[in-house]
A and B are shown apart, each in its own frame.
Chain A
Amino acid sequence: MNDWDESLVSAHLDGELSPSERESFERVIAADPERAAAVDEIGAVRAAVRALRPPVPPEGFLESLVGERQDNVVALAPRRHRRLTAGLVAAAAAAALILAVAVPGAGRARPPLASDVRIHQAGTAATGDPVSGLAPLATPLVSR
């Protein structure tokens, strides 16, 4: 408990801990499944946020900006136009966020771990000892 420092989680996930700090940190999470799960969860959220695509400007947005330029001076769009543009950008960002939250991992690889382990074991048993190769297949290979 004493060597747990919340601020180390980010540093750990960023790979910025020194070897001794990392060892201490990993010792703590190895002994505490709840903290390990929390670290996993934070890592997953960070990965999800990183995966968010930058908001795509609505069609004609850039053209409308260029069209406003006069004599190297960018004129401010009318307030109503700016509101509309800002609204569209916000909507695009919200849509991207909703997509990322509602469909986590869309387009990403989700390896079927139990199947991978089965295939590995079957391949190992084919050339090694069949009993020690295949007996693990009767156990819950990867549990949630």
Chain B
Amino acid sequence: MRRVLVVGLGVVVLTGLLVMKTPVAAAGPNPSDALLDRARAALAEHEFDARVSLRWWDGRRNRRQVVSVAAVDGTLRIADGDVVAEGGRAWVRSDDRWRTLWADPRDPQAPPLDAKYTARTRSGPVIAGRPTRQLVIRHGDVVVEKISVDEELGIVLGRERLDGDRVILGMRFVALRDLRTRRGDTAVPKLGGEAPRRTSAPSDVPRRIGEGFLLVDVRRISGDESLRRYSDGVFEASVFVRDGRTDWSGLPANGEARRLGTVHARRYGTPAGWLVVFESDERTYTVVTDATTRDQVAMVTDLNEGSPSAWTRFVRSVTGPFRWE
């Protein structure tokens, strides 16, 4: 009888752990989403000229660059207008023509922040002469992101993403001038057909990878290239999949050869986050993400091995805090 009780208790505890660790797919209001919604609205309603300092860890050292950003007539213009965005759509100018980077402003259903993280707001630093509130997002006891928002306007003035003890990505306004309310509309470039097109997810695409990264979007880029986007509620991962083994000699040589879990990969630290290239099953994968190395290991392992089983997810959720590669 006692054995039955012990076994029963064990099942209850394990079930409870599974339920606690299993994110819910439905989107819900959370501090991060609400804050970013407000930030997008604030950008659409205001105009300004700004200088923004970017910093990133390239895998070997910290890099820094200052970029011009202007909000004019409902558009956001980066680098003196070489990149233009409006309402979720984005274009980049190259060789005297506009290339559409993103044509679909629809919001994919990301999992809620509190499925994996906790968030608290506190008084933030003064940035570009403006007081901010700061949202601090934690995974367990570890801070993974800080977002500083203009107290009055709601514009995001600073952002830091951390990987372990290191800030791997940082954005901070260093000057904000000519702040005013929006004055008009501007004509944006035409949408080109080269932007990734939304498509339904094939059955062999994993719906969930790593620690709580859910499939939120699948897009076709060209005949044998596809894009799968995953989100864990805070970080995103774009997984580009191409047929064929990897032509390593054709890739930039300055990445780090690195083993991520069971996978040999080449990894680059970019101003946009980590870029991980690896091959599996006669396909070449490129993962672009600002998620932590620990998350990258779990994601890459699942992509290499296929969709993880419920048992694998459970074991990972229990052993996760003790694992680092």
Could you list which residues of chain A lie within 8 angstroms of chain B, going by C-beta atoms?
Answer: 12-13, 15, 19, 22, 26, 29-31, 33, 36-37, 39-41, 43-44, 47-48, 51, 104-105, 107-111, 113, 116-132, 134-139, 141-144
Contact = CB atoms under 8 A, between A and B. Distances in A.
A123 B92 contact: no
Given A117-B275, A139-B67, A22 B253 contact: no
9 contacts: A12-B257, A31-B60, A104-B250, A109-B245, A122-B102, A126-B89, A130-B43, A132-B156, A141-B270
Contacts of B245: 51, 108-109
B288 A120 contact: yes
B193 to A, nearest CB: 14
A38 to B, nearest CB: 10
Contact of B69 (A36, A135, A139): A135
Given A13-B264, A129-B40, A48 B249 contact: yes
B227 A119 contact: yes
B119 interface: no
A113 B251 contact: yes
Summarize A's interface: helix, strand, loop or mixed.
helix
Please tell me the size bucket of the interface on B: 35 or more
B126 interface: no
Interface of B: 36, 39-40, 43, 52, 54, 56, 59-60, 65, 67-69, 76, 78-79, 82-83, 85, 88-90, 92, 101-102, 104-105, 107-108, 110, 147, 155-156, 159, 171, 196, 217, 221, 227, 229, 236, 238, 240, 242-259, 264, 266, 268, 270-273, 275, 277, 279, 283-284, 286, 288-289, 325
A142 B270 contact: yes
B271 to A, nearest CB: 4
B255 A129 contact: no
A118 B101 contact: yes
B257 A105 contact: no
Given A36-B256, A134-B90, A105 B249 contact: yes
Given A134-B76, A135-B78, A47 B90 contact: no
